[in-house]
């Protein structure tokens, strides 16, 4: 069976949009879900982020809504027919953008509403009428209460990233929203994992759903090289810088467990001269979208983020993910590292396991992903010139001794700090040279360093010499932390 889009009987405007997106073959979730959704049946889909699940539900949904397409200017002719609920603003924005692209040659209207933004423009859009409404639960309820959104003609509802919505505590909001919808409808639920809570939610709101799983739940992509290092405290930052340098990593997500830790780490990495941005729930919506855009444009190297802020973001080709903190919830580990190694590309996931509860958290991850985790020791290389080389030549990293006023926080602070400035003494050219990985084998030359490194039997220069014999998780922590 071939999974080409041309084998689907998609309507011409949708087929044209898909072709324009450059998609040829369906991803596994699309190949399985699209034909089922086209029949109008309920679906319970397990798919990791980056699997193409947005198109898997939106294309068939749009196809079924085409019968309502019309060019009338009357809002009454454009009631909400499909509702897509997502846990975060970024995710809602991203899914809405994709739906707009798929629907661009149809007359179906779509809109997105999420919190943290002025309600007025959203209200104006809703009042004009939209067939597909993408929303986060809290803001949707605000619009329902303000009578801006009427949901009594909804035929399709999609609960995307349902497990995350429950984690955040959206269950009561979801229950309220679902109570406003007609009983006769199609409900599609997508979740990275099928926890007992998700199964309960599906039991209450789905009608005899077809279950679709493209990868076993909780499975991590085989294309991701997963490494765990025993580093703690201040050494984590140093380890991160070292690995970024050694592996020639151009961009990475850096996950932390708290908003406060997120802001602090971003600031200190920024001081280290890395182009960094922070993404967490306390940032304004505008700041969050700006951070994301800068990362997508490649202007930011490290996006330091919390789980909620980063969940499901469609940022392609991230070469690496760092778990600066081991996540409290093992399932978050699967979500975090799902940011790399997407669509068959290889990726690197580095986790720093320190003291405290980390032993237990790593053991939870091990159990969830059903893979043995070895924690490696990381030996630090000298990351700054010492002794006689340090006589006034520390200008090799501008941020370290830049004047205080040049270090102040600002939007383009990075450029300010990195701007060339006169150095006290002539530089030693050795310290101005970027790190160079070992010469790649034939045919590997055009691939990024992290990719070639991950596939070599003997790791590349730098990382290999520094890693000591692998130790088992339990053994390592038993020695460190007698219980
Ligand atoms: P999603 O899992 O829906 O967030 O999709 C991840 C990314 O894959 C998005 O950037 C989509 O544009 C892209 N994508 C979705 N379906 C396909 C496909 N059939 N072929 C290639 N790329 C796709």
Question: What is the spatial distance between Cα 212 and Cα 209, in angstroms, rounded to a whole number?
Answer: 9
Q: Are the beta carbons of 353 and 228 closer than 8 angstroms?
A: yes
Could you tell me the distance, in angstroms and rounded to a whole number, from the CA of residue 55 to the centre of ligand 1?
Answer: 7
pLDDT digits (tens, 9 = 90+) for 17-30: 999 999 988 988 99
3-state secondary structure of 433: coil
Show the DSSP H helices in 394-480 as ranges.
413-418, 429-432, 449-454, 463-466, 473-480
Ligand 1 binding pocket mutation candidate from 52, 192, 313 (most atoms within 8 A of CB) = 52
The answer to whether residues 125 and 135 touch, using CB atoms and an 8 Å cutoff, is no
Q: Which one, of 47, 186, 5, 20, lies nearest residue 102 by Cα? A: 20
If one compares 216 and 371, the residue with the highest pLDDT of the two is: 371
Report d(CA 359, CA 98) in Å as an integer: 40
Residue 216's pLDDT band (boundaries 50, 70, 90)?
Answer: low
What separation in angstroms does the CA of 44 have from each of 47, 162, 194, 321, 454?
Answer: 10, 10, 9, 28, 35
Going from the Cα of 27 to the center of ligand 1, the distance in angstroms, rounded, reads: 8
What is the residue-wise DSSP string for 134-175? EE-HHHHHHHHHTT----TT--EEEETTHHHHHHHT-HHHHH
Question: Distance, CA 52 to ligand 1 centroid (Å)?
Answer: 4
**What is the band of 67 on the pLDDT scale with cuts at 50, 70, 90?**
very high
Between the CA of 56 and the centroid of ligand 1 the distance, in Å, is: 9
Contact predicate 469/268, CB 8 Å: no
Sign of CA dihedral 233, 238, 241, 244: negative
For the stretch 298-326, pLDDT in tens is 899 999 998 877 766 767 668 899 999 99
Is pLDDT at 410 greater than 70 in this prediction?
no
pLDDT computed for residue 97 by the predictor: 95
- Mean pLDDT, to the nearest integer, of 378-404? 42
Q: What percent of the chain has pLDDT over 90?
A: 52
| pTM score of the predicted model | 0.59
Residue 481 pLDDT greater than 60, yes or no:
no
Instruction: Count CB atoms within 10 A of the CB of residue 116.
Output: 16
pLDDT of 240 above 80:
yes
Say how many Å lie between the CA of residue 26 and the centre of ligand 1: 9
pLDDT of 450-472, one tens digit each? 233 333 323 322 232 333 334 33
The pLDDT score that the predictor gives to residue 222 is 67
**Ligand 1 site: residues with CB under 6 angstroms?**
23, 26-27, 30, 49-55, 314
256-275 pLDDT per residue, tens: 999 889 999 999 999 989 99
In this structure, are residues 431 and 389 in contact, taking their beta carbons and an 8 Å threshold? Answer: yes
If one compares 113 and 433, the residue with the highest pLDDT of the two is 113
Q: What is the pLDDT of residues 348-383, one digit of tens each?
A: 999 999 888 999 999 999 998 888 899 999 888 765
Residue to mutate, 10, 25, 27, 318, ligand 1, most ligand atoms under 8 Å from C-beta = 27
How far apart are alpha carbons 345 and 200 in whole angstroms? 35
Q: Does residue 178 register a pLDDT over 80?
A: yes
pLDDT tens digits for range 88-141? 888 899 999 999 999 999 999 999 999 988 999 999 999 999 999 999 999 999
Of all atoms in ligand 1, which is nearest to the CA of residue 312? 4
Say how far apart CA 344 and CA 327 lie, in whole Å: 25
Q: Give dist(CA 412, CA 275) in Å, integer.
A: 10
SS3 375: strand
């Amino acid at each position: 069976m071939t999974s080409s889009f041309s084998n689907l009987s998609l309507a011409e405007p949708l087929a044209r949009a898909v072709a324009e997106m450059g998609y040829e073959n369906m991803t596994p979730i699309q190949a399985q879900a699209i034909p089922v959704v086209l029949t109008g049946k309920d679906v319970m889909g397990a798919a990791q982020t980056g699997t193409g699940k947005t198109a898997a539900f939106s294309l068939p949904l749009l196809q079924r809504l085409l019968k309502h397409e019309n060019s009338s200017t009357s809002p009454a002719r454009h009631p909400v027919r499909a509702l897509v609920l997502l846990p975060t603003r970024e995710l809602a924005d991203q899914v809405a953008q994709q739906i707009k692209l798929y629907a661009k040659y149809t007359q179906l209207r779509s809109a997105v509403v999420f919190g943290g933004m002025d309600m007025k423009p959203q209200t104006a859009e809703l009042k004009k009428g939209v067939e597909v409404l993408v929303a986060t639960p809290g803001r949707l309820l605000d619009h329902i209460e303000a009578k801006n959104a009427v949901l009594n003609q909804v035929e399709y509802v999609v609960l995307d990233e349902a497990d995350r919505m429950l984690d955040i505590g959206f269950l009561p909001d979801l229950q309220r929203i679902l109570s406003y919808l007609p009983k006769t409808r199609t409900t599609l639920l997508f979740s990275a994992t099928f926890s007992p809570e998700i199964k309960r939610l599906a039991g209450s709101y789905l009608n005899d759903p077809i279950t679709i799983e493209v990868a076993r739940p909780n499975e991590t992509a085989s294309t991701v090289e997963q490494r765990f290092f025993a580093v703690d405290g201040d050494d984590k930052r140093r380890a991160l810088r070292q690995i970024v340098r050694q592996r020639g990593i151009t961009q990475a997500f850096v996950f932390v467990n708290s908003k406060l830790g997120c802001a602090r780490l971003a600031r200190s990495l920024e001081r280290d001269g890395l182009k960094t941005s922070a993404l967490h729930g306390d940032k304004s919506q505008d700041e969050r979208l700006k951070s994301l855009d800068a990362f997508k444009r490649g202007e930011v190297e490290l996006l330091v983020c919390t789980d909620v802020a980063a969940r499901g973001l469609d940022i392609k080709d991230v070469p690496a993910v760092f778990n600066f903190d081991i996540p409290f919830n093992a399932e978050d580990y699967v979500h975090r590292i799902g940011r790399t190694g997407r669509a068959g590309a290889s990726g690197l996931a580095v986790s720093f396991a320190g003291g405290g509860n980390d032993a237990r958290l790593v053991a939870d991850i091990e159990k969830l992903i059903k893979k043995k985790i070895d924690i490696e020791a990381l030996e630090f290389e000298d990351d700054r010139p010492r002794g006689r080389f340090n006589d006034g030549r520390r200008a090799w990293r501008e941020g370290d001794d830049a004047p205080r006023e040049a270090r102040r926080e600002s939007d383009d602070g990075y450029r300010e700090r990195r701007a060339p400035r006169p150095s006290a003494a002539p530089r030693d050219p050795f310290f101005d040279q970027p790190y160079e990985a070992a010469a790649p084998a034939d045919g590997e030359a055009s691939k990024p360093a992290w990719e070639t490194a991950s596939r070599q039997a003997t790791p590349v220069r730098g990382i290999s010499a520094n890693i000591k014999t692998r130790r088992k998780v339990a053994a390592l922590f038993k020695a460190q932390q007698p219980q």
